[in-house]
Every structure is written in C-alpha cells, then in structure tokens.
Structure 1
Amino acid sequence: MSPERRFVVLNDAPLGDGADEDLLEVTAVARGLTDLIVASRDSAPFTLAVDAAWGMGKSSLLHRLETTLCAEPAVSSVWFNAWTSGGASALEGLIKSVLLRFDRNVIRRALRSMSRRAHLIGVVRGLGLVVASFFGLGRVVDEMWQRMSLDAQARNQIKGVLRDAFGAWMAKGGAPDGRRLLVVFVDDLDRCASERVIEVCEAIKLYLDVPGVVFVLACDQSALWRSVQESAGIGEPAAAVEYLEKIVQISYRIPAPSPEQATRLVDGYLYRSGTSGLFDEALKYLIIARSGRNPRRIKRLINSFVLEYHLNRSWAEIGLENLVKVILLQHFYPDFYRLLVNPRSTDLISEFLEYHEFRATLRQGGNAVGGLLESKGLHPGAGLAELEAELPAEYPVLAVDRDFVALLRSIGEPGDLVNYLQRNPLSTVLPPAELRQGSALRGFRVLWIDDNPSHIAPLVEYLQSRGALVDVAADRAGALAVFERSTPHAVVSDLHRGADDAGTTDLAHFRGEGAHYRGPVLFFTSREPGAAVQSLVRDLDAEGPTTDADAVIRWVERIAALTRVRPG
C-alpha cells in the first residue's frame, strides 16, 4: 500500500460540534422548525419533541436548529444534556441551567419579588448577602437553590420566582413585537433512567411552564413512553401516552434518509475516512440497505475497517477489499461470520456457494450432483432436505438473500481468506443483536410474513438491532409454524404474493376458526391496493396498508411501547 494513503476514524460529533458539512441535510428542516417556533411565539410555553431512534441525527438537528434560531431577533437558547449533566437531579440541573441564562440583575429583581411573600423573607435575607457579594452568578443560583430546597414551602413557590425572572428578562424587549423567546434544548433524554425522565417532565410542566419558553426535546418517544409507565406508577400503557401528551404538544419524526441522501451520506463518510476507493457501488448499496440508513451505524462499520487495518497491516497483502467484505459479514451477517471464523469449520464460503448452486439447479428442474453431497456422506440422489439437514441452519434463509450471495461471490480466493481469518479473526467484537443500538424493543416478538425476504431484510435487521425478536415466514405454512412455537406481539405482512392478495386471505384464516392470532397486524406493500382490499383490511381489524417503511418502524415501536414485555 502506498505510504501516502491514510485511513482515519470518524467521530460521533453532531452537526455544529466540529462537523461543519451537512451530510444529514438537516439545514432545511431546521429552517422550517425555526419558522414554526418563531411564528408561534405567542403560544409559548410549549414543547416540541424531535423524535428518532438511536443514531438517526437528533443531536445534529438540534445543533443546527439552535444556530438558526439564535440568528433570529430576541431569541436566546439554553442547552441541557439530560444524560451527561452530572450527579445532581435533572430537576435541579434543568432549572439551574435556565436561571444561569439570566444576568444578576434579573435574579435580583426576582428576589425582590420573592420578598413580598411573607414566608420567604428569611430566605431572601440570606440570599441578599450573596447577591450583593462579588461571587459569580453560578454561586448565586446554587445558593438560591440550596436554601429553597431546605424549605418545602419555599420550594413550592419556585415557579413564582421563575415567572418573575422570566418577566424581568422578557421586559428587556428586543423583538419586533416586544417579546423575547427562550428556547431550552434538552438532548439525550431517552438515554436516561426512568426517574430522571420524570424529573425533566416535572421541571417542564410544574416549574418552567411560563410565558416565553419553548422546550425542544431530542428523544425516542417509544423509550419515553416506557420510562413514564415504569416510573410514574401508571398502570395502563394508554395513560402513559396521555401523560406525555400533556408535556409534548407537537412532535417531529426524523425520517430515515432517502436512498439519494443515504448515498451522499455514505460517500461523505468514506471520503472523510479515506476509504472511498475500497467501496464499489454494490458495497455502498449493501451498507445503505442493511444499516437501516442509520448514520451512526454506518460510521461504526467504517470505523471497524479503519481499526482492523491499523491493528493488522498484513491485510494490505491479503486484500483490503476482502477486509471490507469481511467487516460487512461481521456487521450484517454475524451468525455466518461466527461460523466462518470457527477453527473447526471448513471453507464455509465455498461450501455455501456450492449449496446455493445445488439448490438453484434443483429448483430449475435439473439434476444436482457434485462433491457437496459426497462430502456430507450423502448418496448421489439425495434431495435438498437431506442436504440441508447436514448444513448450518442459517443456509436456507441466506440462500434467498441476493445481497449476501453476491457478497460471497465477490470474494477472491475464498479458501485462502477463510484460512487467514481462522488464524486472525477480527479484533472488533460486536455485542449481541438484542443489545445493539439500545434495547428499546428488547423481548418484543414480531412475525413478518413476506415471500421476498431480501426485500424486507434491512427493516428486519433494524428491528433486531433494537432488540426485537423477528421471525420471517414466506407463506401461511411458515406463519402457522411460528404460531405453534409462540405468540408474537405483532404481525407485519405483505399483501400481494404473485397475482394473489394472499395477505388478507391468510389473515382471515389466522383470525378465523382456531384463532391462531388475534393481535395487532399491519400490512406493508410495495404498491397501492384498491378500495376493496383496503376495506377488507379494516374488516379484519388490521392497520394499513402502507408503502412507507418508516411507518412500519413507527408502528412496531408504538405497539411495543403499549405492550408490557418482560426482557429475556
């Protein structure tokens, strides 16, 4: 490898935190949200939730939104990271963050207002010494909070103190209509423990619900629903949703990048890391499809390559393109990768490709012969079922995954690569799928019925990465086999198989005599159905049909949030 070629790690800095290029293309969205917030100034206080799953760019959007908002007249901002804000309670931390946005004169006016409340005179006298001193504003706010927290009756009046402080601050004007606006950004709320989530909600609703304040929360709302249900003692899932609806007045869901946006995103990450020349269009397509277009997951994959190369430069002789493909196998097909690097295994790449050819020949009506049957101790006329009984259980599912098959076929000298990998497995270790990207769907069981598994593979991978247990069935028989083993919490089904509307026919069977399944169902289709089919879907007590992949993810998350699931 030429000495001038360098590969570098990508960091996780949000847009506006050292990453100036808008690869996530959030500027236009930030501009639209800014216009909405400024136009709704008279409606403040209110709360806007920026909703998305792990790694989908919530913080990047918040940083760009803060920049755009603060360019508006008489708009100020406060940033509070609920996850990294230290050991103090979130209630204390958030309120202090807001108070520190004011100058000392504003706090002094608020304290004078407090003095008119008879039971707070003692507190104010103590504070007067601090305010008059040369200590900074942070010390004033700390002292103010400490004394109030010692007096329960005084603490009950903190909203009045805050209202007076906001009144004094807003009276300074500066806006065309004489009104100022304070936008409080709360990031990483969905990473917090349930008790901390409730503290933030309490601060927003009980103490900071004052004119002139807009809250912008970055969160995965399905995680918040569960936190509220766990910590607030709310028994019914619907009640948890109602609780949050009192806190959040409007939500914006960040969609997954479009194919074009995802391509630009991957190209940008590859350029920054110095790896552009190693990924052809087919590999970039695979990354986009299998990552769920998740920016953080794409970065982690590229960083895995960079790490492996720097730890083992001999990959330059083995072939950096092959290292890329092994990384893809590890990230997107971890079960196959674990089999591949087992020192007791044979050359599974060549074995799988021979199996795939055997399978294709039989399906085309030919007579499949070859060394694979002999190597497994089978007679020359053995059928597919006999062969598959001697092969890893993953093979039949992987055989219908065109991306996987194409990836293996593109590997040069697979036998040499497998021998090298078994002596030098990758250094990076991925956590189990149910633990990756958080566990928002951990233990939630989904049955997905579709006769084209490769079409839905990215969505299935994404649900699994969030902890969901996903069974894929190609037809009614496969679905019935799943129902015999367990009852899924939700079913996603295609509508059309060939020329038939088999999805509704199968659901009618599942809902009918024997009642194999009575739970929630969503139909996902690639083409719009007619009115008659839509009516039949409603009659079967199902949802959809939808052609929107993001809508499927949101539906599963909503059903999971409203379903009590014991992890494990």
Structure 2
Amino acid sequence: MTRARRFVVLNDAPLGDGADEDLLKITQVARSLADLIVASRNTAPFTLAIDAAWGMGKSSLLHRLDVTLAAEAGISTVWFNAWTSGRASALEGLIKSVLLRFDRNVIRRALRSMSKRAHLLGALRGLGLVAASFFGLGRVVDEMWQRMSLDAQARNQIKGVLRDAFGAWLAKGGEAGGRLLVVFVDDLDRCAGERVVEVCEAIKLYLDVPGIVFVLACDQSALWRAVQISSGVGDPAAAVEYLEKIVQISYRIPAPSSDQALQLVDGYLYRSGTSGLFDKPLKDLIIERSGRNPRRIKRLINSFVLEYHLNRTWDAIGLENLVKVIMLQHFYPAFYRLLSNPRHLGLIPEFLAYRDFRKEVKEGGAVTTSGWAALFGSKGLRPPQGRSDELHDLERQLPAEFPALVDDRDFVALLESFGPATESVMEQLQRRPLAVTQVPEDLAITADGGLVAVQQVAGLRESFPLAANRRSARVRLPVGEPIRPALRDLRVLWVDDQPPNNRDLAGYLVECGVRVDIARGWTEARDALVRNRPDALLSDFRRGTDDNAGIDDLASFRREGYDGPVLFFSGKVPSLRLQSWIQELRAEGPTNDENEVVRWLEQLVASRED
C-alpha cells in the first residue's frame, strides 16, 4: 500500500503573528517607515496610509512595523481592527482604544480638567468618584463615554478632553525625543462606507492632537469610493480632497518583482511540502494568473492540499496532474466546469483537435478532410472541404470557451502537459469532481444574500451581479432603472488592473446585453482589440505604481490602428496636461459616474444607427 504524502495547509497569519519567515521581504520597508515616524514625532499628529489591494500584505507590513517601533524608546502602539471591532460605533471604539492605552492617573487628570469646563461639570458629575474607585480602567472609560454620549455639546468638546489626556501622558515621558503613540488601524477597506467615514471623523475631528500618529492599512481606492458614497461628498474631486485631509502620506506596496514572486511561491511550496510537484512553467503560471497576490497563491496551494487529503485516488493518477486540475479550476473555471460535467466527454482532445484545425485553416494550407472527420461528425457537421467558413460553422457548435481560450498559450500548454494521463484525468473528474470549491472566486454573496455569477472572458474570470439580484448590487444607477435594450449586442473592452472595482457597473452592463471583455493591462487589451474588435473601450489611468499607464496604452493602441471611441473611467482629477493628452488621443473623460458611462454608450449606439 502506498504511503500517503504529507502536505500542510498554509495559514493567513500576517508576518509577525505566527508567520516568522519574511517571504515578502518587508522587514527593510518596515525599518524605513519606522525611521520616518520616529524622526517626525515632533510634527505629530499625522496619518500614514499603507496602500495595497486585497491580499497584498498590508497587515503583514503593519505587524512588522509594530515590532520595529516597539524597540524604539518612548514609542507606544495601539491596534484597532475596524472590520472586526464589533457592532459598536467605530468612532466610539477607536477613541476608547486610545484612552485605554493611558494609565489611571492620566485619566484622573483628564477628568479633573473636564470638571473645570462649565458645561461638562453637570454631564460628568460623579466621574471623579468612579475614577477613584476600584473599578478597572475599562469601566472608567466606558462610563466616561456613556456620560459624554448623552449630551451633544459634551461630545463636541471631547477633543479638548483628549488633548488634556495626551498632554498629561506626554508630560510623563522622560525619554529622549519624547513620547509618541502610534495607532494601527487595520482592515479599514473591508468596512461599510459609514464605518469608514466614522473612523475618518475620529481621526480628524477628535484625535487630531499632538503625540499621536495613525497608520492605516487600506486600499485607498476603496476608501475613496466609500467616502464618496457615504459621506455625502458626491463630487469625485471633493472626495479626493476629503481623504487628503485625513491622510498626509501614503506608501503603496508594490507588486512583487518576478524574482520576488518566484521566491514567494518557492517559500509557500516548501512550507506546504509541495515543492516537488510544481515545475517552472507551473510556477510562472501561478505568478502571472494570480496577479502576484500572496493570498491568492496561498489559496491555490491550500486547494491542492485539501483535495489530496479528501481524495487519495490521485496518487495513482499522478499528483502533478491534480496540481494541473487545480490550476484549471482557479484560473480557467468555466473550462473546468465543462471538464467535470458528464455531458462533455472527451473535452480535452476535442479542444486540442479544434486548435489544430483552426491553425491549419488560418495558415491557409490544404485541410486534410480525413483528419477532421471525427471532430466534425461529433458535432453533426459534414467533413470539411478546406473552406474557411467551415471553421465558423464548427465554432458555432463548440463550447463558447474554445474560441476565447485557443490563443492562450499558457492554457493550451497546460492541457497538452496532461499527455498520456489525459483520459485518466477526465474519467476521474467525471466520476468525482473536485470537492474543493472556489466560492469567493467563482460565486460571490452580496450583503443581503444575493448571488453574483461569473463571466468567462479570454481566460479571465470576473463576477457580475445576476439580473434577479440587481437591487442587491451597489450600482449607483437610480433604483428601478430599467434595463437598456438599446445596448444589447454592444461589445466593450474594459482595461483595468483591478477589475473587481468595476463589477457593479459591469454587472449592470451585462444585464443590458453588453458583452464586457476584461483586460488587466496592455498585453491582454491588445490581444482583445485584435481578436474581439470591441465597439468601445473603457480604461483606467493607473496600473500598479504607473499613474499614466492608461494614457500610454491608449497611445500605443492608436498607433497600432485602433480608432474606436474611448472613455476613461476614473476618479482621478485631470490636470491641464492630462486633459490635453486625453484630447490628443481622441478620448473622453475622465468620469466616475456610472450613469454617465451608460449614457455615453447609448449615444454611441444612437450615432451608429444614424
């Protein structure tokens, strides 16, 4: 009997919280940021944002920064998780977290100062007795907040109370350079918009006092949208200005370089015990298709580990083949669903045969009729006679995913790599599909329980709200807005390196009948322009750390012959120079108004009909 292999699941603990190996190489970054904070302690208060997308290591950097600052004289730290801090007001929770960092004597001095304020004397009568009692500090702080919350005017004076508390705390510091309190706020971009605004208000209106520095872990684009939706700041420029008043300095975590990403993957594979199952091409595929996102890489490896522990029959088929199936499930989910569906027998050979026939037709050579008789016969078609229109007839009978994936070299190489095991893999999946599902990737659940489905475009997966659940989406189109039949059959290419940011509007467009093709950058967009010939192009400006990538890409597309309409969908406030570039490239925008995008597309349809 073959002894089972031992593979282990990777946890999602941030660096410094049970994950001691610095695979992301952030220790030096944390050291540099700590030096900046310490050197600037006399200019506090200020706020530093650690900016990155989901899963890119924000919490790890915060933990490493906390460890680094702990070694500095006079530096104290406080943690506040905006997402998991409970149902209480974020304003209340954050202020209490700060007050609880002080000792009883500091609170007592603050209460004496408060009692001298004429208005607060009545509202806080008896608090001195509470502070002098044997109750813990937490009880004192709770009592303080309860008394203040009963009176609006008292709440308005809380900043003075906190300034007094900080003054007393700073006065007790005898260390060189003075005291400093660093407050780490994690997972702010996961919160609802109202909670984001509460935290911003706490920082700016109540805790903007000497001796305090805030470090926010957030995706600033998510904060910008939350502020625009929930604070009543409808104008994009005003929303940007609002956040600029909160955040004085921002560090954007860059995506790992090719070498760093490979080192990261190697580290995860070693820790999970799966190193011997991933060759260089598979590692490269993981790196590129995951967007070099550490959390997504972990999820893929964990999917393999769990599936193997649930189904040991893969030992006989080959664990390297299970790895490839997991890759199909994560990166090509629509094709994987076909592969595991009993109605689609022989899918891999059929796809490869289609690929070969298509290549033969495209190259203009003589088509070997006998070689394709089985492929055409299985679809109820007569054997080909060498005409190019026969390829079109064949593609109409094949799954829609075939034409979209046939030019994806990584995908084709993945299918070819199954080799002699192809039949065994297909039989296994027909008999017992993978038990591990990808609900967060392939099917998402909205806040009120609605579902969003997946559209497969050129090998990429994106989630769009289903029509039955459109009211649960966060599209800012008017409630009850009818579906636009005029947009049906329109094809739009949307270029953005963060497609989830646009899923609400993209979902609405899909419901209207628009075919939305997704591209994350120049290479995918160029291929889609050639292959799909879209009617219009939507684009962002920024890709990673390049603020003008969208402009540069469009200039390249224009030089290569794309002459179609373009709209920049972005909240970036255009400078005069940027606006000049937009005009030179015969583009429009920018706009961040979904209604304006829909109206723009309707105008394109109307002008085309005229």
Question: Could you state the TM-score of these two structures normalised by the residue count of structure 2?
Answer: 0.78
Give the whole-Å Cα distance in 2 for the aligned partners of 1:12 and 1:417.
Answer: 31
For the Cα contact (< 8 Å) 1:8–1:273, is it kept in 2?
A: yes
Higher relative contact order (CA 8 A, sep 6+): 1
Q: Secondary structure at the match of 1:125?
A: coil
Is it true that 1:405 corresponds to 2:452 in the alignment? no
Equivalent residue for 1:79?
A: 79
Inter-CA distance 5–431: structure 2 relative to 1 (3 Å threshold): closer
Alpha-carbon deviation of 1:214?
A: 0.6
1:12-161 to 2 correspondences below 5 Å: 12-161=12-161
- Please name the residue that 1:447 is paired with: 493
Cα deviation 1:262-317 (Å, max 9, x = unaligned): 11111111111111111111111110110000011111111111111111111112
**Superposition pairs for residues 454-533 of structure 1, below 5 Å?**
463=499, 467=503, 470-471=517-518, 474=527, 481-483=534-536, 488=538, 503-504=558-559, 506=561, 509-510=563-564, 516-519=565-568
1:434–1:466 contact (8 Å) kept in structure 2: no
| 2:334 match | 335
Distance 1:401 1:297 in 2: 21
C-alpha distance in 2, partners of 1:379/1:319?
Answer: 37
Q: Following TM superposition, by how much is the alpha carbon of 1:318 offset from its aligned partner in structure 2, in angstroms?
A: 2.0
Q: Aligned residue for 1:274?
A: 273
Deviation track 1:449-505 (CA, whole Å, cap 9, x = no partner) reads: 8xxxxxxxxx87x6369746534564767665433xxx74659879799xx965336
Name the residue aligned to 2:185: 186
What stretches of structure 2 of length at least 5 have no aligned partner?
Answer: 447-451, 453-461, 466-474, 476-490, 507-515, 519-524, 542-548, 571-579, 599-610
Deviation at 1:173, TM superposition (A): 2.2
Aligned to 2:206: 207
Residue 603 of structure 2 is matched in structure 1 by none
- The 1:291–1:105 alpha-carbon spacing in structure 2 relative to 1, beyond 3 Å, is same
Structure 2 residue identity aligned to 1:482:
D
Query: What is the alpha-carbon distance in structure 2 between the residues aligned to residue 465 and residue 333 of structure 1?
Result: 21
CA distance in 2, matches of 1:430, 1:565: 32
- Displacement of 1:536: 7.5
Q: Distance in 2 between matches of 1:116 and 1:536?
A: 60
* 8 A Cα contact 1:347 1:414, kept in partner: no
1:470 aligned partner, one-letter code = D
The unaligned stretches of length 5 or more in structure 1 are 450-458, 511-515, 522-534, 544-557
Instruction: Look up the match of 2:396.
Output: 389
Q: Report the alpha carbon displacement of residue 392 of structure 1 after superposing the two structures with TM.
A: 1.4
* 1:429 equivalent in alignment to 2:437: yes
Q: Name the structure 2 match of 1:380.
A: 384
Partners of 1:465 and 1:232 lie apart in 2 by: 19
Q: CA deviation at 1:174?
A: 3.4
The superposition leaves residues 385-441 of structure 1 with CA deviations (integer Å, 9 ceiling, x where unpaired) of 222222112212211111101100111321221121011011122237576699999
Aligned partners of 1:437 and 1:466 also within 8 Å: no
Describe the shift of the 1:465–1:110 C-alpha distance in structure 2 as closer, same or farther (beyond 3 A).
Answer: closer
**For residues 51 and 101 of structure 1, what CA distance do their matches in structure 2 show?**
26
Aligned to 1:539: 584
1:102 match: secondary structure: coil
Match in the other structure for 1:171: 171
How far apart in 2 are the matches of 1:63 and 1:496?
A: 37
User: 2-side partners of 1:352 and 1:416: how far apart?
Assistant: 17
> Match of 2:397, SS?
coil
Change (3 A) 1:34 1:538: farther
Write the mapping of 1:208-357 to structure 2, written as runs, cut at 5 A. Answer: 208-357=207-356
Pick closer, same or farther for the CA change 1:446–1:305 going to 2, 3 Å.
Answer: farther
CA distance in 2, matches of 1:502, 1:119: 66
1:131 aligned partner, one-letter code: A
Residues 447 and 473 in structure 1, CA contact (< 8 A), matched pair in contact too: no
Q: Which amino acid aligns with 2:251?
A: Y
TM-superposed deviation, 1:11: 0.9
Give the structure 2 partner of residue 553 of structure 1: none
In the aligned structure 1, how far is the partner of 2:590 from the partner of 2:31?
32
Q: Is the 1:378–1:387 contact (alpha carbons within 8 Å) kept by the matching residues of 2? A: no
- CA 434–342 in structure 1, closer or farther in 2 if over 3 Å, else same: closer
Q: Deviations over 1:54-90 (max 9, x none)?
A: 1111000000011111211111110000000012110
Q: Distance in 1 between matches of 2:320 and 2:428?
A: 15
Q: In structure 2, do the counterparts of structure 1 residues 359 and 480 end up closer, same or farther at CA, with 3 Å as the change threshold?
A: closer
CA distance in 2, matches of 1:106, 1:295: 43
Tell whether the 8 Å contact from 1:44 to 1:212 is kept in structure 2 after alignment: yes
Q: Which amino acid aligns with 1:193?
A: A
**C-alpha contact (below 8 Å) 1:9/1:273 kept by paired residues:** yes
Please tell me whether the aligned partners of residues 54 and 219 of structure 2 are also in contact (alpha carbons under 8 angstroms).
yes
Q: Structure 1, residues 223-272: CA drift from partner, whole Å, max 9, x if none?
A: 11111111111221221111111111111111111111111111111111
Q: For residues 96 and 540 of structure 2, what CA distance do their matches in structure 1 show?
A: 43
Could you tell me whether the CA contact under 8 Å between 2:333 and 2:442 is conserved in 1? no
Q: Does the C-alpha gap of structure 1 residues 218 and 482 become closer, same or farther in structure 2, counting only changes over 3 Å? A: same
Larger CA deviation: 179-188 vs 462-471: 462-471
Q: Structure 1 566/187 Cα, relative in aligned 2: closer, same or farther at 3 Å?
A: farther
Contact 1:56–1:294, Cα closer than 8 Å, also in 2:
yes
- What is the CA deviation profile of residues 293-345 of structure 1, one whole-angstrom value per residue up to 9, with x for unaligned ones? 00111111111111111111111122211111110000000111111111111
Pair 506,18 (structure 1): closer, same or farther in 2 beyond 3 Å: same
Shift of the 489–496 alpha-carbon distance from structure 1 to 2, 3 Å rule, reads: closer
Q: Answer yes or no: is the 8 Å Cα contact 1:15–1:63 preserved in 2.
A: yes
Q: Would you say the 8 A contact 1:115–1:121 is kept in 2?
A: yes
Deviation at 1:565, TM superposition (A): 6.9
- Report the Cα offset of residue 198 of structure 1: 0.9
Q: 1 CA distance for matches of 2:568 and 2:438?
A: 33
* Cα displacement (A) at 1:359: 2.0
- Separation in 1, partners of 2:130, 2:587: 64
Q: Equivalent residue for 2:423?
A: 415
- The one-letter code sitting in structure 2 at the alignment partner of 1:504 is R
Could you tell me which amino acid in structure 2 is paired with residue 374 of structure 1? Answer: G
| Cα distance, 1:517 vs structure 2 | 3.7
| Deviation for aligned residue 1:8 | 1.2
8 Å Cα contact 1:197/1:228 also seen in 2: yes
Q: Structure 1 residues 355 and 292, CA, compared in 2 at 3 Å: closer, same or farther?
A: same
Q: How far apart, in 2, do the equivalents of 1:373 and 1:126 lie? A: 89
Q: Distance in 2 between matches of 1:247 and 1:195?
A: 16
Secondary structure (helix, strand or coil) at the match of 2:292 reads: coil
Bigger drift between 315-324 and 363-372 goes to 363-372
Task: Tell me whether 279-288 or 380-389 shows the greater mean CA deviation.
Answer: 380-389
Instruction: Provide the C-alpha distance between the structure 1 equivalents of 2:228 and 2:501, rounded to a whole number of angstroms.
Output: 23
